[in-house]
Amino acid sequence: MPKCPARSFHNKAPEHIPETLRPALEPVLEQIASLTERIRQYDRLLVAISLEHYPETELLRKLLVGSAHYVLGPLGSDSDLRRHAEKIAARGAKNSKKRAAVAVARKLSVLLHRLWVSGEVYEPLHNAHRRQGQEEAAQAEKRWSRRRRRR
């Protein structure tokens, strides 16, 4: 199967499916097409509802995406958010940088809410420090178990 966006998979897949498998897979492709269309409709509905009832979400969304672009840009400092985006962008898909910015915007909104609710102080490399501590603990455990075996 060739690479293609999820929204067009049901259109491109049939030409790559062998004739012997078509009777079994055509109903699946029809379901995928139906679900894809329903997702598009729900996306449009969500945008309409948010604009009608919560017009401030448009400004919050623009600010989050703008902030994500700053995090990803040359002036952005090293952080868990930046590292997450770099992993997504490294996948090399056509829109990978845009996807990375949207993913960072979403993570940023969750992070801001978490900090607001908990009152915690932002630590840019929280996950990296946590992982480093776990690795150090695992290494200490290995050293301790080696010493025990020697005795």
- pLDDT single digits (tens) 88-117: 888 877 788 888 899 999 999 999 899 999
As for how many domains the chain has, the answer is 2
Which pLDDT score is estimated for 151?
Answer: 67
Q: Which residues of 77-87 are buried (b: 16+ CB within 10 A; e: fewer)?
A: eebbbbebbee
Residues 69 and 119 in one domain: yes
Q: What is the pTM of this model?
A: 0.56
Task: Point out the least confidently predicted range of 48-52, 56-60, 119-123.
Answer: 56-60
Residues 124 and 145 in one domain: yes
Residues 19 and 74 in one domain: no
Residues 35 and 71 in one domain: no
Residues 79 and 147 in one domain: yes
- The residue range of the domain holding 95 is 59-151
Residues in the chain: 151
When pLDDT is cut at 50, 70 and 90, the band that residue 3 belongs to is: confident
Res 49 pLDDT > 90 = yes
Residues 79 and 117 in one domain: yes
Residues 67 and 43 in one domain: no
When pLDDT is cut at 50, 70 and 90, the band that residue 145 belongs to is: confident
Alpha-carbon distance values, 16 to 13, 31, 35 (Å): 5, 18, 21
Q: What percent of the chain has pLDDT over 70?
A: 95
When pLDDT is cut at 50, 70 and 90, the band that residue 133 belongs to is: low
Last residue of a domain, one of 19, 38, 54: 54
